């Protein structure tokens, strides 16, 4: 597991730019979620940049892509949701992309390239953040094939770094 190579606060201008980019990417008003007074610290690791917003690791840049971490519950609960059967859970948590046969239902609408969360059907536990490869209407009709690309999931390197820096052990 990689340790933070460098950790520092963003300037106010950099913080505003980051939050604006995130708001546009997810079509959310992040300032409404977090308030106007936000201090952002960045920890640069070998695999990702993790952004601590008001001391919480909520955003990351992974593979040059800005995304919410699985700990950013306020933003994630506003995203569309794909519910998968329990047979798909171990595959999703090992980094597999989301395939049509594992989908039980889709809650909310989304477009191609939108972020969508994946939860299990039994407990509704958050499993992954995926990038839609097709829109929700098309995905509902699919019997087979790939629906979404797994971007960040429980158990990946970013998840393990987040648990370490946030003190979570579950």
- Other Cβ atoms less than 10 A from the Cβ of 153: the count is 20
List per-block mean pLDDT (blocks of 10 residues) for the chain, which spans 170 residues. 71 90 87 81 89 92 93 93 97 97 96 97 96 96 96 94 69
33 assigned to some structural domain: yes
Distance CA 97, CA 147 (A): 8
| Burial class for 49, CB neighbours closer than 10 Å (0-12, 13-18, 19+) | middle
Supply the range of the domain harboring residue 84: 76-153
Domain termination site, one of 51, 70, 89: 70
Structure-token match 């939050």, residue found = 19
Residues 65, 119 share a domain:
no
Say whether both 84 and 104 belong to one domain.
Answer: yes
81 in the same domain as 65: no
Q: What is the CATH number of the domain that holds 10?
A: 3.10.450.120
In terms of domains, do 81 and 109 share one?
yes
CATH number of the domain encompassing residue 82 = 2.30.130.10
- What pLDDT score was predicted for residue 45? 84
Tell me how many domains the chain contains: 2
Q: What pTM, to 2 d.p., does this model score?
A: 0.89
Question: Residue 166: what pLDDT?
Answer: 66
Given phi > 0 = left and psi -120 to 50 = alpha, else beta, which region is 48? beta
């Amino acid at each position: 597991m990689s340790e933070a190579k460098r950790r520092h606060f963003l300037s106010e201008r950099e913080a505003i730019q980051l939050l604006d980019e995130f708001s546009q990417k997810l079509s959310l008003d992040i300032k409404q979620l977090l308030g106007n007074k936000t201090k952002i610290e960045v920890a640069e690791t070998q695999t990702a940049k993790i952004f601590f917003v008001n001391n919480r690791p909520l955003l990351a840049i992974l593979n040059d892509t800005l995304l919410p971490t699985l700990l950013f519950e306020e933003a994630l609960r506003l995203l569309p949701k794909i519910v998968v059967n329990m047979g798909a859970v171990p595959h999703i948590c090992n980094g597999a992309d989301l395939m049509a046969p594992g989908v039980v239902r889709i809650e909310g609408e989304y477009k191609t390239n939108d972020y969508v969360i994946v939860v299990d059907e039994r407990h509704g536990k958050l499993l992954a953040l995926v990038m839609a490869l097709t829109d929700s209407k098309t995905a509902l009709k699919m019997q087979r094939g790939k629906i979404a690309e797994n971007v960040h999931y429980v158990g990946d390197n970013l998840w393990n770094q987040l648990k370490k820096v946030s003190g979570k052990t579950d």
